[in-house]
A and B are shown apart, each in its own frame.
Chain A
Amino acid sequence: MTRSILWLWGLLLLGQGLIAQENENAKTGFWELRLGIGVDRFQDSKNSPLKLSGTDVPIGIYRGRITDKSISTGGLEIRSSELSTSVNEQVTLSNGEVNLHFEYLRKLSAQTSLFDTWYLGGRVDFRRQNLENELLGNNSVNVFFNTSLSVVNRVERTVRTLGKDARLSYTLSLSLLNYVKEDNSFSFAAPQQALEDGVYNTQDFEHSLFEYGEVTSLNSFIQLRSRLALHFPAKRRSSWELAYEWQFRNYAQVDQLGIASASHNLSISYHLPKKKN
């Protein structure tokens, strides 16, 4: 377990190294501020068959660099929503998420009639989700954490929209390797792995983020992101971006009793150029 986590961190550092190396040829650095609105959906089958959903207002801040050959970004996203169900107004859940990511995309030589630019790369996410049902006692709070290494594909083309040449992009990422930890087990408010390892006790049981999780591949954790964005140039090398993003996760620490979550967001972003070499 520890070795796997160290490996994951190693990959992250390697990714950061690549970004740093790319900076030497940096063409444009930018800051991006993003505000969105959308819908979150959630279902935890081990606890309830109810599907919950609610309105979400995500915000994000990003830092990135674009060169002739690559795009690298890092960013922080925060979102919160009050989830409820159509079946019963008494069941509600407060959902809060923080996601930190680093992404590196390398331009490919491929071209098609539909898209003139192709990228392929990787992404590391550190995501923490807090779910709270204030009516409950021991199981009122569940914290879900995952670190995921994903493969990312991005395609772009220029489109003439509103009298301007805008860049249309579509990005798809799929997690390949994950460290996943849920604070609550199948039945109790302690991690499943701690119970299965037989280490829980009521004197001194404590656990950090990187204890009692599991390293998984696609077999038990799937994280997908799909983003369709339209990028409009604005004054002084700044730009606006309109986007639709879909995120989806499916995880089961106990077979056949999965957690499914999804979000659909429309967002507007402002890109502020930092420098030009």
Chain B
Amino acid sequence: MKNRYIIILAGVLAIWSTACEEIAFEPQPEATNVQVYEEFWRVFSDKYAMFEAKGVNWQNTYNVTRNLVDNTISEDSLFSVLGSMTVSLRDAHTALIDPVNGTESVFDIQEGFPENLDEELISREYLKGTEKTLGGFVYAMLPDNIGYIVFRDFQSVVLDEELDQILTEFKDTKGIILDVRGNTGGDPFGAGKIASHFTEQEVFAGFERFKTGPGATDFADSPFTLLPTTGVAYTKPMAVLTNRLCYSATTTLLYLMDPMLNVTFIGGRTGGGSGSVADGQLINGWYYSLSVSEFIDARGRHLDDGVDPDILVDLDPDNTNRDEIIERALLELN
């Protein structure tokens, strides 16, 4: 009799616990074409931060593309539809990847813009083998006592000690050219570290507007005031060289330095990528990334489609012995 009570008790507990669980767990959809489409559209609707800035009406996108998808179309066709939706945002932080087939859909920021960078020309005509390398930095002295620092990649960790050493070597220069053309980004914390060495004061750079919930108005702003380095600071005139591939963390560096009065931007239009990136997997395993914030700079500019520098200069493709952007920078600093 007593054992029967115990068996009943154990059974009740097991049923009770499982029932409690199922209330909390949401229903799981099947990975059909329609469900994948609906999830993709909803994720972007909930989390993408720049529909307004990009002038994209996501509901209209749904209205136009939804009837292109049913459960009979091929996987390639579904990828094509979702990929076109991705590219329509004109945001290279936003991508769709099928890891099994190795296919990717992402906006090409370079298309329609000049490259404005010739590494071989720079090496031959300006560095001439005199350059030094420290971490991700390459630096050399140019004629007329102008320092030249090249930083092409934010994937490498930026150390204050590296900047301290370079700027100590350049402390008696007339000015510095910081060449970040072709730098498509990486770790944005490195951008803050670099920028902090070019000011002795706090610099209000603008604010980052994050998506904080699924609602259309669920945003929160994080103002960003750059703090100066405690190491070596350089506050003489500077020229920062840009092109279309200045993207993501490089855009961070540019908006942090934009309010500095000693800095002039020279070169081509930048690429944008001002937002922070999140990523995830759809129910069929496809990988996506998207911008979940937007940076609005101290001038109130939306940066994500890129901005023109202070002095717009393109390389002359017919003149392979001269980098017009570096030449213009030398002119400005002399």
Chain A residues at the B interface, C-beta cutoff of 8 Å:
41, 43, 45, 47-51, 85, 87-91, 114, 133, 135-140, 159, 168, 170, 185-189, 192, 195-204, 224, 226, 228, 244, 246, 248, 250, 254-255, 257-258, 260, 262, 264
Contacts and interface: CB of A to CB of B under 8 A. Distances in A.
Given A186-B214, A187-B211, A250-B24, A198 B220 contact: yes
Given A41-B25, A43-B26, A202-B252, A188 B221 contact: no
B28 A51 contact: yes
B135 interface: no
Given A168-B6, A195-B212, A87 B280 contact: no
A198 B25 contact: no
B6 A90 contact: no
Contacts of A85: 28
Contact of A254 (B31, B39, B214): B214
Interface stretch (B257-265, B283-291, B324-332): B283-291
Given A135-B281, A248-B21, A88 B31 contact: yes
Nearest to B193: A203
B222 A199 contact: yes
B227 A49 contact: no
Contacts of B136: none
Contacts of B211: 186-188
Given A49-B29, A133-B281, A186-B211, A159 B192 contact: no
B25 A260 contact: yes
A200 B5 contact: no
A54 to B, nearest CB: 15
Contacts of A248: 17, 20-21, 24
A47 B9 CA distance: 37
Contacts of B293: 187-188
A198 B227 contact: no
A139 B280 CA distance: 7
A58 to B, nearest CB: 17
B295 to A, nearest CB: 9
Given A43-B25, A201-B208, A228 B221 contact: no
A49 B292 CA distance: 19
Interface string B228-262: 00000000000000000000000010000000000
B224 A135 contact: no
A195 B222 contact: yes
A226 B210 CA distance: 39
A228 B11 CA distance: 11
B157 interface: no
Contacts of B284: 87-88
Given A48-B282, A187-B46, A195-B220, 7 more contacts: A136-B281, A138-B278, A170-B13, A226-B17, A258-B24, A258-B26, A260-B25
Given A198-B220, A202-B189, A228-B13, A187 B196 contact: no
B64 interface: no
B220 A90 contact: no
Given A186-B47, A187-B47, A159 B2 contact: yes
Interface of B: 2-3, 5-6, 9-10, 13-14, 17, 20-21, 24-31, 39, 46-47, 49, 99-100, 188-189, 191-193, 195-196, 207-208, 210-214, 218, 220-227, 252, 276-285, 287, 289, 292-293
Closest 3 CB pairs of A and B: A90-B285, A203-B192, A187-B292
A51 to B, nearest CB: 5
Which residue, of B29, B221, B283, has the highest number of chain A Cβ atoms within 10 A? B283
Contacts of A258: 24, 26
A189 B285 contact: no
Contacts of A50: 28, 283
Contacts of A224: 20
Contacts of B2: 159
B13 A203 contact: no
Nearest to A201: B224
Given A49-B29, A200-B210, A260-B25, A226 B226 contact: no
B285 A137 contact: no
Contact of A90 (B189, B212, B221, B281): B281
22 contacts: A43-B26, A89-B285, A136-B279, A136-B281, A140-B279, A187-B47, A187-B211, A188-B292, A188-B293, A189-B278, A195-B222, A198-B220, A201-B224, A202-B189, A203-B192, A203-B196, A204-B227, A248-B21, A254-B214, A260-B21, A260-B25, A262-B17
Contacts of A200: 208, 210, 222
Nearest to B282: A48
Contact of A136 (B39, B221, B287): B287
B24 A49 contact: no
B27 A49 contact: yes
Given A187-B47, A203-B196, A248-B20, A136 B222 contact: no
Contacts of A159: 2-3, 6
A201 B224 CA distance: 6
A198 B221 contact: yes
A49 B14 CA distance: 25
A259 B114 CA distance: 47
A135 B13 contact: no
A88 B285 contact: yes
B283 A188 contact: no
B270 to A, nearest CB: 17
Nearest to A247: B17
A262 B14 CA distance: 13
Contact of A48 (B30, B195, B252, B281): B281
